Amino acid sequence: MIPRYQKILFVLLLVASLAMGAALWHLRELAHQKLLAGQNSAPTSAPAVAPAEQATLLVANDSDGSILTQLHSLPLPADPGARARAVLGKLLDLYAAPDAAHPVPGGASSVAQVFLLPAPEIAGAVPPAGKPKIKDSRAAVILSRKSRATTPGAPLQDARQTGPLLAVVNLTGSFAANHPSGIETEMLTVLSICGTLHANLPRITQVRFLVDGQQRATLAGHADLTRTYLAGDFLPAEEAIP
């Protein structure tokens, strides 16, 4: 014979277990909804309502190692950061196409964010004459890790509105992991990204790269991502001539 108090206790515990299970299920659903809502709010693509504009893309070609200018009409948002992300998205969409001359999987979603900051002055920067080219369609890179503030004491807002900009391109880890390995192919990707940014937003003079928000040594084992790249030096030779 089971005492009455034990029966009551069992029923109470059973009810409590069921209630806790229901609460857990409800919380799980809430967390899932919150996650989906967060994903939807991320600006993953340029708004379709924006007017279509001509964008200059510097498209790499693996067969001859060249980077050539292409004009594309696409909706571009007014905000410089979103604009930079939109043109890079289009560039990487071209690379992800099946018949791409520089095939790189990933597409537009490979650019997580583009941050625009006042550009630091590169110490000891060398003019273009100091970088003789072996192949005309490429540009050499002048690099320096030593940098200091552009205009010490100048208001940050002024520098953001009028001064040269440093673009920090945050790539996704999957893009870096799936990028073909090799000095040539990796550098073509880096150069075309830098050139495309400068061609569409001339105030962008320097570019740095992050992968999943972290600094990474190389893109896929070769191209150095720890450096600051001078974006203005990546235009093809014929474009650089005034």
Partner 1 sequence: MLVRLEIRCLSAAYYWALQGCLFVCVLAALAASGQLALAQPAPPAPPSRFIVVLDAAHGGDDTGGRLSNGQFEKSFTLAISVRLRSLLAVRGIQVVTTRDADATIDPNRRAEIANHAQALACLSLHASESGSGVYLFASSLPPAAPARFPAWKTAQAAWVTRSLKLTGVLNSALLNAGMSVTMARYPLPVVDSMTCPAVAVEIAPEQGAGHEKSGGLDDRNYQARVAAALAAALVEWRTEARQP
C-alpha separations of 142 from 37, 58, 187 in Å: 43, 19, 14
Nearer to partner 1, 167 or 225 (CB): 225
Helix (H) or strand (E) holding 129: none
Helix, strand, coil percentages for the chain (3-state, nearest 5): 40, 20, 35
Nearer to partner 1, 66 or 109 (CB): 66
Q: How far is the CB of 40 from partner 1 (least distance, A)?
A: 36
**Residues 6+ positions from 89 with CB-CB distance below 8 Å:** 45, 46, 107, 108, 109, 111
Q: How far is the CB of 117 from partner 1 (least distance, A)?
A: 22
Beta carbons of 116 and 84 less than 8 angstroms apart: yes
Nearer to partner 1, 4 or 145 (CB): 145
Q: How far is the CB of 109 from partner 1 (least distance, A)?
A: 22
Q: How far is the CB of 112 from partner 1 (least distance, A)?
A: 24
Residues of this chain that interact with partner 1 (CB under 8 A) are: 62-65, 126, 130-135, 138, 140-143, 145, 180-185, 187, 220-224, 227
Q: How far is the CB of 49 from partner 1 (least distance, A)?
A: 38
Nearer to partner 1, 53 or 224 (CB): 224
Nearer to partner 1, 41 or 63 (CB): 63
Nearest to 223 by CA among 181, 193, 194: 181
Nearest to 156 by CA among 207, 119, 197: 119
